[in-house]
């Protein structure tokens, strides 16, 4: 197993263990357990997918930009095709997929890659992602995404006026999202995992909190060895954990839900594809 993929998957283990612990405490049925198991398997498969892409993927200017534009488009799907529940879910048969955590981690990784290459191409597209989240409304994902994005931006060679304008736009969008009513009802094993754990016992709560902290620390260390431009990704997850404590959003990889698991797999696969060296060409055999 490539070391980059191994380090990221190992970082996910504490959160995954806490997630199954929460489902055990909540006493969920086999249907939910099956969805979680399938999503976890898909996460691992997606993590390895980037290993099969050529290492010059990140050198083609249009590919990273297309990834960010695609993220904005996917996030907009619930607005274009509204269904039951909050305007940030897409119905896939009996499954309702929370799309933002599927694409935002990779969008942050790509933005870090762009800014490390001194490219400003992604700023407009990333602003479009924020606007979509503000319209849904999805304050938690927008706040987490903006935090990660600004951390990447302020640690890049981007000009100071661009940084300040971007920070102002992000703050305005976060306020707009916060002021809108959110119809989401908190579920104990989705948005209320920390409350559920501490409600069971202090020991259970400390275990879940420690697993979340371990996930953030291990992920930050693993991503830093791949590309320093990826430092906004752990910040994104940290903000989501904070919002989850308030019952506003699912805890990444700990609460029930396929979206964060699939998104983490795409993140690992994407960062691997962006950063791995191009495989050497095999010389023709001489006669």
- Residue 265 above 60 pLDDT? yes
Tokens of 57: 């993927």
pLDDT (tens digit per residue) in 76-100: 777 776 655 556 777 766 667 888 8
So what's the pLDDT on residue 92? Answer: 67
User: Helix, strand or coil for residue 90?
Assistant: strand
Q: Give dist(CA 79, CA 87) in Å, integer.
A: 6
- Residue 23 above 90 pLDDT? yes
pLDDT (tens digit per residue) in 103-132: 889 888 887 777 666 556 667 666 777 778
Tokens of 38: 């399938």
pLDDT-derived band at 287 (thresholds 50, 70, 90) equals very low
So what's the pLDDT on residue 62? Answer: 63
Place of tokens 């504490």: 14
Partners of residue 54 on adjacent β-strands: none
Asked if residue 162 lies in contact with residue 251, where contact means CB atoms within 8 angstroms, the answer is no
Q: Give dist(CA 149, CA 126) in Å, integer.
A: 8
pLDDT (tens digit per residue) in 166-205: 888 889 889 988 888 777 777 888 888 999 999 999 999 9
Query: Which of 149, 185, 180 minimizes the C-alpha distance to 167?
Result: 149
Query: Which of 113, 105, 133 minimizes the C-alpha distance to 253?
Result: 105
pLDDT (tens digit per residue) in 210-259: 999 999 999 998 887 777 778 889 999 999 999 998 888 889 999 888 88
């Amino acid at each position: 197993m490539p070391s980059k993929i191994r380090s990221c998957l190992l970082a996910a283990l504490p959160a995954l263990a806490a997630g199954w612990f929460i489902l055990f405490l909540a006493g969920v049925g086999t249907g939910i357990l099956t969805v979680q198991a399938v999503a976890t398997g898909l996460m691992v498969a997606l993590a390895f997918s980037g290993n099969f892409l050529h290492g010059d993927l990140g050198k083609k200017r249009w590919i990273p930009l297309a990834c960010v534009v695609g993220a904005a488009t996917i996030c907009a799907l619930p607005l274009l095709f509204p269904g039951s529940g909050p305007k940030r879910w897409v119905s896939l048969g009996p499954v309702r997929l929370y799309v933002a955590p599927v694409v935002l981690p990779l969008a942050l990784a790509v933005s870090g890659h762009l800014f490390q290459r001194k490219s400003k191409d992604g700023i407009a597209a990333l602003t479009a992602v924020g606007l979509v989240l503000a319209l849904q409304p999805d304050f938690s994902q927008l706040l987490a995404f903006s935090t990660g994005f600004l951390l990447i931006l302020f640690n890049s060679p981007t000009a100071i006026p661009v940084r300040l304008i971007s920070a102002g736009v992000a703050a305005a969008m976060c306020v707009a999202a916060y002021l809108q009513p959110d119809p989401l009802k908190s579920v104990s094993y989705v948005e209320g995992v920390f409350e559920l754990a501490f409600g069971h016992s202090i020991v259970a709560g400390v275990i879940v909190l420690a697993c979340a902290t371990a996930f953030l620390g291990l992920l930050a260390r693993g991503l830093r060895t791949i590309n320093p431009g990826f430092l906004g990704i752990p910040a994104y997850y940290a903000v989501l954990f904070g919002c989850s404590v308030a019952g506003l959003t699912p805890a990444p990889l700990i609460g029930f839900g396929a979206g964060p698991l699939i998104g983490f797999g795409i993140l690992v696969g994407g960062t691997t594809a962006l950063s791995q060296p191009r495989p050497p060409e095999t010389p023709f055999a001489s006669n």
